Chain A
Amino acid sequence: MIRSSSSLPPVEVSQSSSEAIQPPLEVFQVISAAPLDMVELLRRAHHPAAGAVVLFSGEVRDHNKGRAVDHLEYEAYQPLAVKMIHAILAEATAKWSLQSAIAQHRVGRLAIGESAVVVITAAAHRREAYEANRHIIDRIKHEVPIWKCEYFHDGSHQWGNNCNC
């Protein structure tokens, strides 16, 4: 996960009077083998200049195209995936003047109901927060080298092609 502003490497969005309540700059993981901690991610997204915070969680469904899904596995080409997610967050931060932009994607085995990806956007108003959030998740799904393999109840498995969720 990162908190990103309009330039790379990610830096804290500048503040004035509110600086004291902001967490210090950290370099967050954008790819995680551990379960995603949505509460902690959301806590980090709050910003005094943001009147709207949107959180999207992509979660593991128990079915796909009529087939019962047992679990999923995700893999990533991490050197490139990390770089691309940072760039997507930075671009969205600049375009929609976001106060916070956070994304974290799981890798490894995921059970039904687990969160595979979280995107959080915080902006002054909801329109920007919603639009930026959708833009970020769409680009992560379509562009970033992360792949899903579905394991079905019948014992078969199938790698995902383009996004179908």
Chain B
Amino acid sequence: MIDFIVSKYNYWIYIILMMIGFYAMIGKRNLIKKIIGMNIFQTAVILFYVSIGCKKGGTLPILEHAHGHAGQVIQASSYINPLPHVLMLTAIVVMVSTLGVAIAIVIMIYLKYNTLEEDEILKAIK
């Protein structure tokens, strides 16, 4: 059991983080806490992606003098996979813009109702 957890520790970390974020998004009543939860949730997904690209003993996928040395044997297994990392650059941009939009909306809510507690806002709307 311990072996099982330790050998796949990256997945455990991402799942735990994700659940923390999920709890904060659903369970917390304060809007800023919800946003923080959302951020943790998205970061967990990003960590998941980053960890699946890695290999033990792998190095950066830069081929020195690759051009003109066509006969050179390339050991794909000794390089980490850069693609998930590059995908995450895009996902981080998406995450930041979601955060920006969410905070902008919270500012609108705060200016209108003067509070960030969901219960009080719902009371004010009714």
Chain B binds chain A: no
